[in-house]
Amino acid sequence: MPRGRCRDDDRPDGRRPHVRRIRTKSRRCGPRRGEDTDGLCGADCRSTFNRKRGYEVNTVISTLFSGLTLGGLYALVGLGLVLIYRATGVFNFAHGQLMLFAAYLVGYWTSNGWGNVAAIFASLAVVAVIGMGSHLAFLRRTIGRPEFMAVIAALGLATVLDGVMGIAFGSTQYTLHFPGTGDGTVDILGSTMSGRSIVIFVFSVVLIAVVAAVLRFTTVGVRLRAAGQAPLLTSQAGINISRYYLVAWAIGAALAGVAGVVYGSVYVANPAMVAIVFSTLPAIFLGGLDSVPGALVGGLTIGILQNFAAVYLGGEVSVLVVYLILIGVLVVRPHGLFGTPEIVKV
């Protein structure tokens, strides 16, 4: 007789027997209604749930702090860009090359016996001189002319610096050491963070606060802002705006050097460093292209969002998310969160 079938003559009365299906209990996580919650299964399930919840919390905290570090780096890169643009109206497309040049100088000098601090200050002085020299040589000639001429001039400076660094350093890579950082770790809310990341984040915030205070409360800062907002009225007031343009390029180039040294201590100083300028664009446009506090807010926001998108959606999707934010900002609020809206009189 085939298995699982019953014949009528299996019983004396000729009736077909009633076949009852027996359901097997499926093991599930968690107690059923009326069951003892203190049993072994309940304890195991609660332990598994707690472990998963703890893992998720640690992942969120770690991603948040990593995003703050990345955002601080974006803010530091954007600081020099914002300062030069605010004072001169020129977007410095050679900013990444100035970063890389300063990082290369620090790496080369420290590998040849220089002290770390001395090499950093010397490299900042060199890139500041390059910034001033570029302004005196050709960038000042673009003042009052169509904006694309300044863009072409800045791209020309970037190309020249690329050629010089290619001849002098080739494809050399340097790992830098930022003062005050080490290889230690710090436990924050159950998540382990490197001491270097914390120091760099705090340094970025403090430096941006200092620059914002200088621009707002000092004579040099007020004149720099005036030269960028109303150059004609500023010159008619007896202020030599060319001198303050020179100061802006020197400070902006030095800030690029600082960002390059910080980048080289977090990652590595190599030609790929210049690409971070384009990754910083969404941050400075979100905060406002002429706003120093906006560089900090935009940098931290983009850094955190990009890190969370990379962890939960994937690295390629994170880049897409960031640039979708950039497009949205340009469409909805072109001057950013803290930027000055442009008023056109007709």
Question: Nearest 5 degrees, angle CA 25-CA 26-CA 31?
Answer: 90
> In the prediction, which pLDDT does 288 show?
93
Q: Please check the confidence at residue 80 and state whether its pLDDT lies above 90.
A: yes
Q: Is the Cβ–Cβ distance between 252 and 83 less than 8 Å?
A: yes
Residue 1 has pLDDT above 50, yes or no: no
- Domain positions in the chain are 66-273
Percent of the chain with pLDDT over 70: 81
Predicted pLDDT at 296: 94
- pTM (whole model) above 0.85: no
Q: Which residues pair with 194 in a beta bridge?
A: 185
> What angle do the packed helices 116-137 and 95-111 form, to 10 degrees?
150
Q: Tell me what pLDDT residue 6 has.
A: 47
Average confidence score pLDDT of the chain: 83
pLDDT digits (tens, 9 = 90+) for 201-243: 899 999 999 999 999 999 999 999 998 888 888 888 888 998 9
- pLDDT recorded at residue 220: 92
Residue 33 scores a pLDDT above 80: no
Do the Cβ atoms of 253 and 102 come closer than 8 Å?
no
Instruction: Give the Cβ contact number of residue 321 at 10 Å.
Output: 18
Check residue 42 and give its pLDDT: 54
Tokens of 195: 């001491």
239 or 39, which is more confident: 239
Can you tell me whether residue 230 is helix, strand or coil? coil
Q: With 60 as the cut, is the pLDDT of residue 333 above it?
A: yes
Strands (E), 251-297: none
The label of the residue with tokens 């601080």 reads 72
Mean pLDDT of 272-299: 93
Strands of the chain, DSSP E: 185-188, 191-194
Could you read off the pLDDT of 168-179 as tens digits, one per residue?
998 889 999 888
What is the pLDDT, as a whole number, of residue 52?
52
